[in-house]
Amino acid sequence: MQSVAEVVPPRTHYLNATYGVKSWLLTTDHKRIALLYLTSVTFFFFLGGLFAVLIRLELLTPQGDLVQAETYNRLFTMHGVVMVFFFLIPAIPAVLGNFLVPLMIGARDLAFPKINLLSWYIYNVGALFTVIAILSGGVDTGWTFYTPYSSTYSNGNVILTGIGVFITGFSSILTGLNFIVTIHTMRAPGLTWFRLPLFIWSHYATSLIMILGTPVIAVTILLLALERIAHIGIFDPAVGGDPVLFQHLFWFYSHPAVYIMVLPAMGVISELIANMSRKNIFGYKFVAFASLAIAVFGFLVWGHHLFVSTQSVYAGMVFSVLSYAVAIPSAVKVFNWTATLYRGSISYDTPMLYAFGFIGFFIIGGMTGLFLAALGVDVHVTDTYFVVAHFHYIMVGGTIMGYLGGLHYWWPKITGRLYPEAWARFGALVVFVGFNLTFFPQFLLGYMGMPRRYYAYPPEFQVLNVMSSAGASILGVGYLIPMIYLMWSMRYGPHAPPNPWGAFGLEWRTSSPPPTQNFEQTPVVTWEAYEFRPREEMDLLGVRDVLDQTLRPRPVGGEGD
Amino acid sequence: MERSLAETHVATSVGLAHHFDDVEQQREAGTLGMWAFLVTEVMFFGGLFLAYILYRSKYPVEFAVASNSLNVTMGFINTLVLICSSLTMALGVYFSQVGNRSLLILFLILTMILGLTFLVIKGVEYHEKYVEHHIPVRFQTYQFKWEPRVSEAGGAREESSRAVDTGHVEMFFWLYFAMTGVHALHMIIGLGILTTLVLMARRGRFTPEYHSPVELSGLYWHFVDIVWIFLFPLLYLIGAHLH
């Protein structure tokens, strides 16, 4: 059909190597498993989005009129559970990470391909339990499952949902374990640690959190479920138990889990910023170590969720200071990205638009996080829409922007097709506008005192709530646009050359889409992670051919061949 | 390309998966993977140990009194059984390294027998607790009950009858069942793994070049044993001074 003249698509690649449902469901190819995950997380993204639609519809008016209070509680709980555990946590690592980690380090597959497939099945079994819990009435505890409400009083399906989250946790552990072992043992010859792309560093840091944090939430949910079954347990004051212990254990995982969501996105952004401004990342080692620092500090800050939960004020002070400390490596990343952009040859293609969005949202989300880490301010805004807006700026504005940016950037590699650039830019713009209109008013609402998790509110909050709901509808359209044109491009998009962006990275040195074994022969790496230089110097050094794709036409919407 | 396919084919015979360069890399990956998995296990048990530390420091008397009602003899025998099973497992790993198939199978089966012995003794203990109404649940048909034993030494009885809060005793038993239960679950999984290993060994799947499944399962088995080495004193022996 269509093909770029000089690029003949490889006759067999991982997508057409074998056919049939069985060849997909029993595959051990990391690239195919990434696509399996892509379909699963996309489904849960839209399911979680459906709950968000209902929440925003209810909040359109001050009265609780669309649904009952009880139903509303279930809606925001299921929104949180589905989005956090079934979309945000697996999204980037299990889809982009799964696809790219072996390619970026020049390996033929992850270290444990069968365990990789197993993790997808575990994810789906956990998802099944959660879907059954949703269909049989849902759960109303909030995604945090705080005791004693969850253990004693709630009449929702706490156990079923808990089992779902518990099981899905193991898929996350297995993914993290696979990444750590793969990055340690399977790097191509010459690919030293400091030649690794920053995407790999951030996934390594993420994997550490996954294997250290996830088992703690697993045992916590297990104890909660046992407590519900036995009608007595370690969080129950009747036997001298402490319900706040649950909060400690829960946030010991769930705060680092925020970094599971955002660190991979930071890895994506590092790749986008360097390759699309055609400059070496500023302070490579600082960005790399910042990922590890975030992973380590992330484990020491959980107490900032308990400032008003009877935690001692001295513990609060320590947690407050430590929470401020996390801002340092986060800021290092933002400053280094900005410094990379400085005098770079920036292209404004879609992935870069998402990257710009990410940086802006991450700054707003991160700075408001500092408000929340301040003991005094936090008392004022605890459990208000300020908190909701803050973490949506990180989770939606950070993770989903990184996810979509990465998905567009590597789409030619994943599918072998180019997406329509004009539509994609339009979609990114819609997402940007919709996102800000949805969540910025929530900062104001929260600061004025509107509490979260209520289905009705005083009439004076209506204007901002209507703005937020209007923004949510725009945001929803913004997410549907890429959904449509990406699916369209899989069949009708022009064929992609091996390196449409002229980017560094081993994944661009194999065909698009890659063959099942990734590389015709194992690459030997003799260069740094990013080696952009002025063109004249490249010619002089004879390294131009390495980047010969640079001169190829950029993918532009509608431009077929 | 063809060469690498041929290599893969040859390699399969010694158990080398297609995506590894050589057996050494594969072994290294497997070992690191198992250690990383054991780290997650440490964190998993860590939640339980944290709860134990917290409540024992809050309710030391009740924990000592409740611990005193456990069957130390059976706990001790079980400790010995598990230490012996670690020895047989280590010998199994050794014989897989030197390629002695029959002794490998023998020691794997011995390990399984010791593991089963542990579970049987644990089951007897659980049954005792069930009969004494020491299982901490609140069902309509079954309730936790606690009566201070008359056989206790005078001082201890005085202390226990004065200060013991039944709820806190129940907390001890809750932790006892949660911790030993999760440990027993790991033992059962371990027995499943050993069964697989025996079947693989009988088919001659292990050679001195390729025996990492035995080695890695050995690591897992030792880990589960070590957990018990911590559980035994923490649960059974903290009340010993009451005698």
Question: How do residues A129-154 score in pLDDT, each as one tens digit?
Answer: 999 999 999 999 999 999 999 998 88
- Residue in A234, A151, A147 with CA at minimum distance from that of residue B170: A234
Of the pLDDT bands very low, low, confident and very high (cuts 50, 70, 90), residue A243 is very high
Query: Rounded to 5 degrees, what are φ and ψ at A554?
Result: -70, 150
- Token digits of residue B55: 């409540």
Q: For chains A and B, what is the number of CB pairs under 8 angstroms? A: 119
Residues A34 and A435 sit within 8 Å (Cβ to Cβ): no
Taking all residues of chain A, what is their mean pLDDT, rounded to a whole number? 92
Contacts of A220 in chain B (CB under 8 A): 47
DSSP A426-477: HHHHHHHHHHHHHHHHHHHHHHHTPBTT-S---GGGHHHHHHHHHHHHHHHH
Is the whole model's pTM more than 0.80, yes or no? yes
Cβ–Cβ below 8 Å for B19 and A240:
no
pLDDT band at A9 (very low <50, low <70, confident <90, very high): low
The answer to whether A239 contacts B59, with C-beta atoms less than 8 Å apart, is no
Q: How far is A492 from chain B (nearest CA, A)?
A: 32
User: What is the tens place of the pLDDT at every residue in B41-98?
Assistant: 999 999 999 999 999 999 999 999 999 999 999 999 999 999 999 999 999 999 999 9
Positive or negative, the CA dihedral A410, A413, A415, A421 is positive
pLDDT for A545 equals 52
Is B12 within 8 Å of chain A by CB? no
What is the distance between the alpha carbons of residues A376 and A317, in angstroms, rounded to a whole number?
Answer: 10
* Partner-chain contact A239 B170, CB within 8 Å: yes
For the segment A512-539, the average pLDDT, to the nearest whole number, is 84
Range A213-217 average pLDDT: 97
- Asked if A370 and A325 touch (Cβ cutoff 8 Å), the reply is no
Q: Do B137 and A220 touch (CB under 8 A)?
A: no
- For the domain covering B37-242, report its CATH number: 1.20.120.80
Q: How far is A117 from chain B (nearest CA, A)?
A: 15
Q: Select the residue from B23, B43, B173, B223 to test the A interface by mutation, using most A Cβ atoms within 10 A.
A: B43
A459-511 tens-digit pLDDT? 999 999 999 999 999 999 999 999 999 999 999 999 999 999 988 899 999 99
What is the mean pLDDT of the segment spanning A64-78?
94
CB < 8 Å to B138, chain A: 230-232
3-state class (DSSP) for residue A384: strand
List Cβ neighbours of A523 (8 Å cut-off, separation of 6 or more): A106, A188, A506, A509
At residue B16, the pLDDT reads 83
Q: What is the pLDDT of residue A85?
A: 96
Reported as a single tens digit per residue, the pLDDT across A439-462 is: 999 999 999 999 999 999 999 999
B40 interface with A at CB cutoff 8 Å: yes
Q: What is the ipTM of this complex?
A: 0.90
pLDDT band at residue A11 under the 50/70/90 scheme: low
Q: Where are the domains of chain B?
A: 37-242
Q: Does A112 touch chain B (CB under 8 A)?
A: yes
pLDDT at A504: 85
> Is cis: bond before A148, omega within 30 of 0?
yes
Q: What percent of chain A is predicted at pLDDT more than 70?
A: 93
Which one, of A521, A518, A420, lies nearest residue A32 by Cα? A518
Among A425-429, B164-168, B199-203, the minimum mean pLDDT is found in B164-168
Quick one: pLDDT at residue B161? 53
Query: CB distance from A184 to chain B under 8 Å?
Result: yes
CA distances from A288 to A113, A261, A504 (A): 27, 17, 17
From chain A, pick out residues whose CB is under 8 angstroms from the CB of B180. Answer: none
The minimum CA-CA distance between A6 and chain B, rounded to whole Å, is: 24
Residues 265-304 of A with CB under 8 A from B: none
Q: Which domains does chain A have, with CATH numbers?
A: 30-551 (1.20.210.10)
The answer to whether residue B80 neighbours chain A at the CB level (below 8 Å) is no
Give residue A155's pLDDT.
87
Q: Averaged over B12-35, what is the pLDDT?
A: 85
Sign of dihedral through CA atoms A135, A140, A146, A147? negative
Is the pLDDT at A512 greater than 80, yes or no?
yes
Complete DSSP assignment for A503-552: --SGGGGS-SSPPTTSSSS-----S-S-----HHHHHHHT-GGGGGGGGS
pLDDT tens digits for range A281-292 = 999 999 999 999
Q: 3-class DSSP state for residue B138?
A: strand
Per-residue pLDDT of B122-131, as tens digits, reads 999 999 999 9
Is residue B105 within 8 A of residue B112, CB to CB? The reply is no
- Percent of residues, chain A, with pLDDT higher than 90: 87
pLDDT of residue B15: 74
For the stretch B90-117, pLDDT in tens is 999 999 999 999 999 999 999 999 999 9
User: Residue A445 CA to chain centroid, in angstroms?
Assistant: 26
